[in-house]
Amino acid sequence: MNTINLKKSTSLRLDKELYNYIEKLAKKENRSVNNFIETVLADATNFYEPNKETKKAIEDLQSERPNLKRYGTAKDLFIDLLAD
């Protein structure tokens, strides 16, 4: 599977103590500071971008089965399942 992600280079100005704290947390998880910051930002902003393979699978499923019932939340799905 091809998992190449295009990256955008940027620079940040961080308080020295904050950077040291982030560096310490990253080392605890055996990760680079860059990877740690990227992951924290993605989690904090609920960012998720599926890869090409996943996008294709979603498109295929939606075109093959356009009339499937859709649910906004897992709770809605379970309520519907338990109703039968």
Query: Would the pLDDT of 20 be above 90?
Result: yes
Q: Which two tokens stand for residue 61?
A: 């499923």
| pLDDT for res 49 | 80
Answer yes or no: is pLDDT of 11 > 90: yes
- Which of 54, 56, 84 minimizes the C-alpha distance to 69? 84
Residue 9 covered by a domain: no
Does the predicted TM-score (pTM) go above 0.85? no
pLDDT mean over 43-67: 86
Q: Which residue has the higher pLDDT, 50 or 38?
A: 38
Residue 72 is part of which domain span? 16-50+60-83
Within a domain: 2: no
**Residue 22 domain-assigned (yes or no):** yes
pLDDT greater at residue 24 or residue 83: 24
Model confidence at 30: pLDDT above 60? yes
For residue 51, is pLDDT > 90? no
Q: Is residue 1 part of a domain?
A: no
Q: CA–CA separation, 84 vs 79, rounded Å?
A: 9
DSSP state of 39: H
Number of folded domains that form the chain? 1
**Residue 24, domain member (yes or no):** yes
